[in-house]
Structure 1
Amino acid sequence: MITGAYVSHACWNDWRHFFEGYGYTVITPPWPHKEADAATLRLNHPDRELASLTMQQTIDSYIDVINGLSEKPILMGHSFGGLFAQVLLNRGYGAAAVAIHAVPPQGIFPYEFSFLKSNAATLGFFSSLDEPYLMPFKKWQYVFTNGMPLEVQKNSYYDLVIPESKRAARGGLTSTAHVDFKKEHPPLLLLAGRQDNCIPAHLCKRVYLSYQNKNSVTEYVEQDRNHFVLGQPTWKEDANYILNWIRRQ
């Protein structure tokens, strides 16, 4: 399970226990320099070492984990992690992949307004790259938890939100985020949310339509979810759908 930007890998805790309950071995390795809990990482902000992290280094860290396994894993990623899952699958590192509300690969320009509003500050074009970006609570309410009760928004913010490397975020604009859409690939499931401001469903659908290999399984599912899909009350419904999809494939 591959974590996205802005949040701790603890966002997978319920999902990890769910799949372990069905006999799967599950690992949720954090991005480099993000091993600590959310409160500690926020306390250390701004961390220059975290600020230096690139997307290539992050993907390489997952390749190192995969190379240490006895078999190719099923890759499951959310947001930036969903992009990483697609990149890794495309490079032959996965038996299958699930991309949940995923950042688009290189070449698919995200012109959707809510995406730009959600993510522009993270790219650091008008701020120093030597200081990580820490999403303010008001932005969290718009980007991740729109439509949810205030108490849930507050608790999830303090439990999960961590500083983010602007250099890593910029990697999504480079060849590090390249996917060959014509290449044959193992089964890929793309999930999208109609209430998602960060990664709008329209953007996810454009990614899905870019996959062109007719010999490969590529499936697209759209639901009424926001970007906090991993922590919404419907998370177990989504996990069940993914479990059954994996079994079918």
Structure 2
Amino acid sequence: MQNNSSNSIVFVTGAFVSSTCWNEWKAYFQSQGYTCYAPAHPHKEGIAAALRSEHPHSSIAHNSLTSVVEFYAAFIRRLPEKPILIGHSFGGLILQLLLQQNLGTAGVAIHSVPPQGVLTLKWSFFRSVTPALGLFTSQKKTYLMSFKHWQYTFTNGLDLATQRATYEQFVVPESKRMSRGALTQEAQINFARPHAPLLFVAGSTDHIMPASLNYSNYQRYAKHKGSITEFKEFAGRNHFVLGLPTWRESADFVLSWLSYTIGAPAPVRARTAEPQR
């Protein structure tokens, strides 16, 4: 255990969705005594339906990976203490870039987009990410995930009514410039550098960020023996992990890991496991 506890958490939102995806997590962690923040990406403030009405000429299109990382870095530097960082999907990549700047006491990357150079050959990954990159289309226009793609990429396995309701509640336009940044030096991590304790959480039924890809990301850090890096795969979790009926189990595991690793109060700690192949 490291004596590096923090009473603050910054939740880092991923691509394609509103920051309101963190509402239940934020309320739960606040009930555990944390001060929690879930800032929206630049130009993504407001309800999802209103943001969708601005597609394809939304100002969101101006966001880049670098500018969004800089936004979070500036937000964190204004806080009274260095926070714990918890990020989902693209937020997991942003979190890794923030930890590289020593801006968090610990990081939890949930179903994370990997840094540059960490790839998978799984077909579900390519089927999920290719439309969002908008190759051969203008970066001046946003990408808006279709309902059909939401069903495959985020909410596979859920009933139709839940898929439709969550699409209406959370899906927002996204910057193709930001998505493409994950393939460039903007997303470069120096895995040889020491880093704050870092946990990767993955799900066995995630199409867009397969557990094996998250495990590859984890392994790149695990080579640095002087830093804490751990991995946990949950069975039956798709990419909509934050809003599944099982979200409390995932949140409790994160609390346990934080307690064991940096001394934060938490429920009983669960066991780390390698991904299913």
Give the alignment partner of residue 240 of structure 2, picking from 216, 220, 228.
228
Cα distance in 2, alignment partners of residues 89 and 123 from structure 1: 25
Q: Are the counterparts in 1 of residues 58 and 173 from structure 2 also a CA contact under 8 Å?
A: no
Cα distance in 2, alignment partners of residues 110 and 172 from structure 1: 14
1:135 is aligned to 2:162 = no
* Cα distance, 1:112 vs structure 2: 2.2
**Equivalent runs, 1:55-94 vs 2, <5 Å:** 55-94=65-104
Cα distance in 2, alignment partners of residues 121 and 129 from structure 1: 13
SS in 2 for 1:239: helix
Give the alignment partner of residue 118 of structure 1, picking from 128, 147, 169.
128
Give the alignment partner of residue 227 of structure 2, picking from 180, 197, 216.
216
Q: Deviations over 1:67-115 (max 9, x none)?
A: 1011111000000001111111122111000000000001113432111
Give the alignment partner of residue 194 of structure 2, picking from 180, 184, 187.
184
* Cα distance, 1:48 vs structure 2: 4.2
SS in 1 for 2:113: coil
* Cα distance, 1:198 vs structure 2: 0.8
Give the alignment partner of residue 9 of structure 1, picking from 19, 22, 31.
19
Q: Are the counterparts in 1 of residues 115 and 188 from structure 2 also a CA contact under 8 Å?
A: yes
Q: Are the counterparts in 2 of residues 118 and 143 from structure 1 also a CA contact under 8 Å?
A: yes
1:248 is aligned to 2:266 = no
Cα distance in 2, alignment partners of residues 46 and 111 from structure 1: 31
1:143 aligned partner, one-letter code = T
Q: Are the counterparts in 2 of residues 194 and 226 from structure 1 also a CA contact under 8 Å?
A: yes
Q: Deviations over 1:14-62 (max 9, x none)?
A: 0000000011000000110101110110111123421121111100000
Q: Are the counterparts in 2 of residues 39 and 158 from structure 1 also a CA contact under 8 Å?
A: yes
What is the TM-score with the length of structure 2 in the denominator? 0.88
Cα distance in 2, alignment partners of residues 223 and 49 from structure 1: 36
Give the alignment partner of residue 200 of structure 1, picking from 195, 204, 210.
210
> Could you say what the CA RMSD is over the residues aligned between the two structures, in angstroms?
0.9
2:114 aligned partner, one-letter code = P
Give the alignment partner of residue 166 of structure 1, picking from 176, 189, 201.
176
1:239 is aligned to 2:251 = yes
Cα distance in 1, alignment partners of residues 62 and 28 from structure 2: 34
Cα distance in 1, alignment partners of residues 187 and 120 from structure 2: 14
Percent sequence identity over matched residues? 48
SS in 2 for 1:173: coil
Q: Deviations over 1:141-166 (max 9, x none)?
A: 00000000111101000000000000
- Mind listing any 5+ residue stretches in structure 2 that lack a counterpart? 1-10, 262-277
How many residues align? The count is 249
SS in 2 for 1:76: strand
SS in 2 for 1:26: strand
Cα distance in 2, alignment partners of residues 65 and 110 from structure 1: 32
Cα distance in 2, alignment partners of residues 112 and 177 from structure 1: 21
- Mind listing any 5+ residue stretches in structure 1 that lack a counterpart? none
Q: Are the counterparts in 1 of residues 83 and 103 from structure 2 also a CA contact under 8 Å?
A: yes
1:104 aligned partner, one-letter code = P
Q: Are the counterparts in 2 of residues 104 and 110 from structure 1 also a CA contact under 8 Å?
A: no
What's the counterpart of residue 22 of structure 1? Answer: 32
